[in-house]
Structure 1
């Protein structure tokens, strides 16, 4: 099993403001869909609420401290480590050796999973403006850039932990 993150952030690690994305870039959203479809995606409750519904063709896992939170079409857990159990079960059920669990945010969830992450699918966006949610600091000496692709409004990179 591998833990991967999918994130779009600004130059200072900005990822959101008031539980919303800071930009709307259709090419990046298409790329996100391509990367995550058919996989297990893990997110915090606020990220889920900002999306508003389970994303199709993915196993949606929502982490929340709210023991009363329920929503059709999602698996609700209350401890980030429970996501590993779910991923291992899915890997076993599917008979896959290289199952990829995709962490998609927000800031607290990225922070919890970063030490376990093998790969980061990163969209770097030019952004100048306010933010209240940030991607945690990354020691880029621990990562190798596997791929870089420039788009009109962002640069997409795939980073693999060395």
Structure 2
């Protein structure tokens, strides 16, 4: 369930994490898909990353400009860092540029996260004076933000913020 919608200007930040190209699979719920498996592998290695900024995890997505629903995309499971640090083997450092975002906050189990994406792409963009401003064309990521409000995949009280880069039409 989406509990809050707001527009924010977010400054640039840095993430270190593991990236994979994901082929969406609608046969598996989000708690069991390839992204969940990536988070499982990354979670076992998070302690290797120095200079982590609190409890801030990101699921970064970089869409190709003309990709449609069901097209593969790059996904990075990562944590925010401050300052310089060595990038562990098999991981990468990503500089996320400053951008304007629509932030949709959802509360509920992880398996309901697809409702957030359907709302943004299916109705929010059509009903507002903004257009999507992300992907490889601009270098701006859309992302999931996990902090202390996210407790577990099955908790009906867990909260996740989903950021979509936007610009005025």
TM-score interval, smaller chain: under 0.3
Which structure shows the bigger proportion of residues in strand conformation?
Answer: 2
Which structure shows the bigger proportion of residues in helix conformation?
Answer: 1
- TM-score by length of structure 1 reads 0.24
